[in-house]
Structure 1
C-alpha cells in the first residue's frame, strides 16, 4: 500500500429490519463518498449476510467473510438507525464478529431516527468502538425521519447543511485513515 493510494472506506448498513430506510441512506452516503478520488468505497449491507442467530464456537463462512471485509478496510462509515434509544442488535452482533480487524482504524457515523437524528445510537456506538481500539471521529451525519427526512426510496432529501456534514465526515475519515495507515506501517498496534 502506497501513501498515495485511495483510502479503503467500508460503508456498513447496520439495520436488517424489513422495511428499513437504512439501505437507501447507506447507498446515498456511499454514492457521495464514491465521487471522491481519494476514497475506494465498498458497501457492506448486514442484511446480505447469513449470520447465525447465536454466536457459534467456530466462525461461519458469513462471519469469516464479514471479518475479512473489515480487515481489508482502512476506515468505516457505520449507517445506523436508532431503535429505542440505541442501535440494532444486528449491528452489535456483526461488530463482535471482528476484533483485531477494527484496531487503529477510524469510524464515523451516519445515523437516523425519529426526532433525535439517531444521536443516541451514535453515542452508544462510540463507546463500543473505543473498546475495540478504533478511533471515532467527532462529526457525523444525522437524519431526522420526522423532519426533512427521506424520500419514498429511503434517500435523504438534499440540503446544503447535509451535504456539508457528509463532506466533513469524509474529510475526517480520510485524515485519520491516512494518518493511521502510516502509523500501522511504521509499527504494529499495541493492544
Structure 2
C-alpha cells in the first residue's frame, strides 16, 4: 500500500514562535508509523504577497502544489486572541480544490486554552472547503511547558489518537477520490 502523504503545516510566522518546535515534536511522533510520509510545510518559508494578487505568485503556486500532493494534513496552530493567525488563513485561501475530500487534523498550542478556540474556528473554515476534520486534537498548554521540553505520555497518546483517525480518514478519502472524483 502506498504510504499516506501527510503535510504538517506550521501556521505561525511570528519571530520567536513555538510552532516550529511543536511541529518538530509532532513529526517525531509520526516516525513510529511506517505507513506515513510526512512533509513539513512551514508558512514562514513562503513569500506570500500582502494582498491577494490577480495571478498566483511562485510562492502561492508552490504552496498550492504542496497542498495538492498531500492526502491529509496536520495544521500546527497557535491561538492568538482566541483565533488562529492571519497568515494561516491567507495560505488556506490560496488553495481551494486541493483541500477537498481530504482529512485534516490539528495540533494546537496556547496559554491555558491549548489553542482550542483556534481549532474551533479552523474546523469551520475547513468544512467550507469540503475537507474532513478529525475529532481528536493534540492541545498543548505552553504555560506547563512545550512537548520538546517534556514529552509527556499524555501528549504522545493524543498524537497517536490523532494519527489513527487521520490515517483512517485519509486512506478512506484517498480511495474514494480514486474511485470517484469529488464534486462540490
Q: Fold conserved (TM > 0.5)?
A: yes
1:129 aligns with: 126
**1: CA distance, partners of 2:97 / 2:149:** 33
Which aligned segments of 4 or more residues in structure 1 are displaced greater than 2 angstroms? none
CA-based RMSD? 0.9
Given that residues 107 and 136 in structure 1 are in contact (C-alpha distance below 8 angstroms), is that contact kept between their aligned partners in structure 2? yes
Which of 164, 167, 184 does residue 171 from structure 1 map onto? 164
Equivalent pairs counted in the alignment come to: 184
Q: Which runs of 5+ in 1 are unaligned?
A: none
2:88 aligns with: 91
Q: Which runs of 5+ in 2 are unaligned?
A: none
Given that residues 25 and 156 in structure 1 are in contact (C-alpha distance below 8 angstroms), is that contact kept between their aligned partners in structure 2? no
Task: Calculate the TM-score normalised by the size of structure 2.
Answer: 0.98
Which of 35, 38, 53 does residue 41 from structure 1 map onto? 38
Query: 2:20 matched to 1:23?
Result: yes
1:50 aligns with: 47
Residues 156 and 141 (structure 1), Cα distance of their counterparts in 2 relative to 1, 3 Å cut: farther
Residue by residue, what CA displacement relative to the aligned partner does 1:118-149 show, whole Å, maximum 9, x if unpaired? 000011000000000000000010000112x2
Query: 2:154 matched to 1:161?
Result: yes
2:176 aligns with: 183
